[in-house]
Amino acid sequence: MQAAAGQQLEPDNRRRSIFSVVGSLRASLHTGGIIFKTSLEERLVYRGDFFFATFIRFLPIITQVFLWYQVYAVGTSGEIADLNGYTYQDMVAYYLLVMIARAFSSMPGLASGISAEIRDGSINKYLTQPLDMIGYLFWRRLAHKIVYYLTAILPFAVVFYLCRSFFPEIPDAKVWAAFLLSLLFGFLIGFLLESLIGLIGFWFLEVSSLLFIYMMFNYFLSGHMIPLDWLPYWITCWVHYLPFKYLAYFPVAIYLGKIPAENLWWEIGVQFMWVAGLLIANRIAMKRGLKRYGAYGG
């Protein structure tokens, strides 16, 4: 009878464990939804400022179009048809799409903000409340991105309509799905990279120098400056093992058909693995950092 009672208790314990996990997940999503809604309302208050700042960011596109026109045009003697596999139309399309990718993956102020909160003790508010700091910052950043795109949709539409002749034919549904998925994972990788740098503030009071180095490498190795195809092989063979290419180059290369079809979903899988790995690294850094945190200030 005791054995039978023990066997009956085991399923009950498993059920309670499952209900506990589901309840915890629902509570976490409910809290995240409240943070997201509040942050969205807060950002919409400054929608005029968002629209003006977004419009100003589109002005460098004009210089890019004329710059690459001069690069491809060789005086009056002729024109360069192709540079490292990119035509003039490809290069203009590349930089326009890089703007889209970077708008997803760039996280201005995230790392420096986390470091500052650790330094001045403001992080205490996350420790004294049932609130996860990384989750809180994620929902706020997500709200920020949504408001940015809501205000930027008109300038984006105008620019892409005027430059429609530079783009290749609209890709099929599979490529579109991979492109959108890569943008989503690029957002997560960009967020987790910057938050991880911010968490280094538990060990170093000032991370501005480290952040400057990161931004310099990010600008070059993400493909923001030039396509990664243009780099020598001895550099690209290492770059492809780093997460930076997924912040800008990879989504653009998908749309422009630079990624072979047989490698497409493998690369998406690698991108997802970077998301998972960086999430684990953030959790480890947070856990170990709190062990040595002195809770000064704040």
The model's pLDDT over 155-203, given as tens digits with 9 standing for 90+, comes to 778 888 888 888 888 888 899 999 999 999 999 999 999 999 999 988 8
| CB neighbourhood size of 242 (10 A) | 12
Among 48-52, 213-217, 264-268, where is mean pLDDT lowest?
A: 48-52
Neighbouring-strand partners of residue 86: 83
Between 3 and 247, the higher pLDDT residue: 247
Distance separating alpha carbons of residues 253 and 90, to the nearest angstrom: 10
Please give the pLDDT value at position 254: 94
pLDDT at 77 over 80: no
Residue 210 sits at the vertex; the CA angle it makes with 114 and 185, to the nearest 5 degrees, is 65
- Band (pLDDT 50/70/90 cuts) for residue 11 is low
Domain boundaries, the chain: 19-56+92-291
How big, in percent rounded to 5, are the helix, strand and coil portions of the chain?
Answer: 75, 0, 20
Mean pLDDT of the chain: 81
Please give the pLDDT value at position 274: 96
What is the value of pTM for the model shown?
Answer: 0.83
pLDDT at 65 over 90: no
Please give the pLDDT value at position 188: 95
